[in-house]
Structure formats: C-alpha cells, structure tokens
Amino acid sequence: LRVTTFGESHGPAIGCVVDGCPPGIPLAPEDFSHDLARRATGKTRHTSQRHEADEVEILSGVFEGRTTGTPIALLVRNTDARSKDYAKIADQFRPGHADYTYLHKYGVRDPRGGGRSSARETTMRVAAGVIARKWLADRFGVQVRACVSQVAGLVPGRFDWDAVESNPFFWPDAGQVAELEAFMDALRKSGDSAGARVHVQALGVPPGWGEPVYGKLDAEIAAAMMSINAVKGVEIGAGFASVTQKGSEHRDLMSPEGFASNHAGGILGGISSGQPIDVSVAFKPTSSLRLPGATVDRSGAAVEVVTTGRHDPCVGLRAPPICEAMLALVLMDHALRHRAQNADVPPVTPKVPGG
C-alpha cells in the first residue's frame, strides 16, 4: 500500500492517492465525513477558526461503489483559505516553524500560507486512513482508536474510553473537561500554545504482522507518526519508561489465559504479538504565536515576528483521528504483505496466549 498527499493549505485543493488497495471494498464519499469532521478546525473555540467544508470527491479507483484495485485519488477543495495574515510575515521566519527549513531546502517561499507544513495536510491522511480502517475492520475485526492523554502538564485522573468521543478534547476523563476548557481559554487569551500527547491503540490485530529486522512494524509505525506535522516523539508500549524498568518488570508474563501486562505495546521483535498495539505520540506546541519573538528575515537582519491569523493553540487536540489513520494505514500495509508472504503457511502452534 502506498499513500501520498498533495496540495497546499492555501492552494485550490488538497488530495491523496492510495495505491495498492484491494478491489471490492465498498467506498462512497459519505464514508469520509465522520472522521474528517472529528479532525476538522472550527468545531469549537479551542481550535483554529478556519471553516472548511472538507467534502471528499472520489476521482478514481472506485466504480459502482466499490474499489477497483487501481489507484484511488481523493480530492478536498479548500474553501476558506485567507492569506492576508501571511503576507505580513512573507519575509520573516517564525521561530520553531518549518518555513525556515523549507526555504533552505527549496529556495522558494510560498507566501500564501502554511503550505504543506500546515495541519491542513493531515486532512488527506485521515481520508486515506478511512479506507484502511474499513478494510481492517471488515476483514479482521481490527479497531483503531485514540485519545488525548496529556495536555501540557495535565493528565487524565481516570481512563475511560467511553468518555473520549463525547467531549471536544478527545479526553478520557469526563470529570476534567471543565478544567481543560478553562486551561484552553486562558491559553488562547495569552497568545501562547501548548503541547499534547496522543495515545493511539489498535485492538484485534492478529499475531504475526510485521517484519523481523528491516521494516519492523514498530519502526514503520514510528516513522508514520513522525511524518505527521508537529510530532516530536513516539513511544511504543512502555517506551522511554523501559529505561528504568528491570527485565522482570518489563517482560509481559504469559499464561494460557493470556498476557499479564503489555509493556511491549503489542509488538515483539518487530512483529505483532496479538496484544493491543499501544503507541504514544508527542505533539509540540505550535509555533505560530501572537506573542512577539526574536527572529531574522530573509536578508538575515534581526526582526521581531508576530503571527496573526487562525491558528491552533494546541494542535495535538485535533490529532487523535490523524494518529488513528496513520496506524491503520501501516497495519493495512503489513496485513497485505503478511498475506502475500504467508499464503501457504499452515495455522500456527503453539496456541496464542489468551487466544
């Protein structure tokens, strides 16, 4: 499975191509609405106030409501881009923003907006992910879900997956929503931004998906998460906490009833173990701030930059659907590869713990 996106935040449209998808999957434009709405801006006062319709047009790869096996091209037209705020900073670099490195790479500055470094690009990752989620659920019963598990220093007091979709923060503790609202209101008023952590999980992944050395499942999940704008860290299972664990604590004991813990995050030796796949993703505080900051302009002169416009004070709050999509896409890719390599392999013994 190969996925690429195209388009800029302030261009006429954004889109993606999903190539290598099996034929016969039912697919209609309305299948995308739910996940795109979960990711969208402008739904609450806590996100960017840009209002995009985010309507998906299927340009290819689908005939009479089913995928044909040919490349699937999806298009979303930009309907609410506003470039005037960017004109003011067209010759300046935002500290902590990719506009500096993009210019060094390409020698071209697109002054219309965030371009491909804008979170707008993630719309099409979510759209592509819809296809993978559908296929994984129908074929294998695999479910992918995510929540925000930290905002700045705030962590959930309790972890209830049922609470996640009923508040604007994808937050697993309904009792803390008022506190988060107050935090976000104060943050927005201050002109500053905050980081966040997203926990993304896949349930029902059978054991055996992945690769043992090159293209390990965890390596490809980490690469996929790291390719999302604003991501600065990825952990699988216990992640960095494994540094201070003893082997006797970290190992997940097994019995005929199943695994006693999941510090491995569902992946052993680059291959799924059959346990839930647990991934934690760190989103940096966004760099487009109303607070003045020291920087340089294109000529190298010292200037002070102030970013106005419609930006997210905490872009991680919109990230759970994006992380779900990336995890689903990597899993679908590995499921297809596994099927190709193991078509003739008889059922596995020993029995899977808990299976």
Which residues, 33 to 72, sit near ligand EPS by CB under 6 A?
A: 41, 48, 50, 52
Pick from 94, 120, 133, 338: which binds ligand EPS (CB under 6 A)?
120
194 is in an annotated binding site: no
For residue 231, count other CB atoms closer than 10 A to its CB. Answer: 21
Outline where 92-164 has alpha helix (H): 99-106, 122-140
CA dihedral 51, 56, 57, 60 (to 10 degrees): 140
Q: Are 65 and 28 in contact (CB under 8 A)?
A: yes
Pick from 56, 58, 81, 147: which binds ligand EPS (CB under 6 A)?
81
The 3-state DSSP class for residue 297 equals strand
CA dihedral 28, 31, 37, 39 (to 10 degrees): -110
- State the amino acid at position 233 in one-letter form: G
Cα angle for residues 329, 197, 228 (degrees, 5° grid): 40
Pick from 7, 15, 61, 113: which binds ligand EPS (CB under 6 A)?
113
Q: Are 99 and 293 in contact (CB under 8 A)?
A: no
Shortest Å, Cβ 348 to ligand EPS: 42
DSSP 2-41: EEEEEE-TTSSEEEEEEESPPTT-B--GGGGHHHHHHH-S
In the shown chain, the binding pattern of residues 200 to 229 toward ligand EPS, with x for contact by CB under 6 A and - for none, equals: ------------------------------
Asked if 325 is part of the footprint of ligand EPS (rule: CB under 6 A), the reply reads no
Asked if 118 is part of the footprint of ligand EPS (rule: CB under 6 A), the reply reads yes
Shortest Å, Cβ 113 to ligand EPS: 4
Pick from 16, 74, 89, 119: which binds ligand EPS (CB under 6 A)?
119
118 is in an annotated binding site: yes
Pick from 167, 193, 280, 288: which binds ligand EPS (CB under 6 A)?
288
Residues forming beta bridges with residue 296, ordered by sequence position: 302
Asked if 149 is part of the footprint of ligand EPS (rule: CB under 6 A), the reply reads no
Shortest Å, Cβ 253 to ligand EPS: 43
Query: CB-wise, 53 or 348, nearer to ligand EPS?
Result: 53
112 is in an annotated binding site: no
Q: What size, in residues, is the chain? A: 355
The 3-state DSSP class for residue 150 equals strand
Query: CB-wise, 50 or 338, nearer to ligand EPS?
Result: 50
Shortest Å, Cβ 118 to ligand EPS: 4
Interacting residue ranges for ligand EPS, rule: CB under 6 A: 9-10, 41, 48, 50, 52, 81, 113-114, 118-120, 123, 288, 309-312
**Residues within the annotated binding site for FMN?**
116-118, 229-230, 269, 284-288, 310
